[in-house]
Amino acid sequence: MELDDQASRILQQRADHVAGRLALVANAKRLLILCELAKGERSVGTLQQAVGLGQSALSQHLAKLREAGMVDTRRESQTIYYRISDPDLEVLMAALYEAFCKDN
């Protein structure tokens, strides 16, 4: 395999990976969740109030983000806290937060 073919294949794999992750972020409710998490770790209750979702719908969105490795959890007593766990997503969300989510 030529180096150009290998480099092209690697670039295609990376593009596919990024496109899949951006598809998850492109959902409006998940974007709101991630904008809130861009501010720092948040409890499920805080996220629920911030994005205006019921517990079931919020849990489904958080599960998708967790399965993709984008967020991680921490339990303190009966409260579950979420945070962005992917460094690349932190960079993306910082840029998106600055452009679109930050309070004026």
Predicted local confidence at residue 5, as pLDDT? 87
DSSP letters along 6-50, please? HHHHHHHHHHHHHHHHHHHHTSHHHHHHHHHHTTS-EEHHHHHHH
Count how many domains the chain has. 1
Averaged pLDDT, 18-43: 92
Separation between Cα atoms, residue 60 and residue 69, nearest integer Å = 14
Separation between Cα atoms, residue 15 and residue 77, nearest integer Å = 40
Q: Which residues pair with 84 in a beta bridge?
A: 71
Predicted local confidence at residue 99, as pLDDT? 82
* Residue 30: domain span: 3-101
pTM here? 0.83
CATH number, residue 64:
1.10.10.10
Per the CB < 8 A criterion, the answer to whether 82 and 42 are in contact is yes
For 78, the 3-state DSSP assignment is: coil
pLDDT band for position 17 (cuts 50, 70, 90): confident
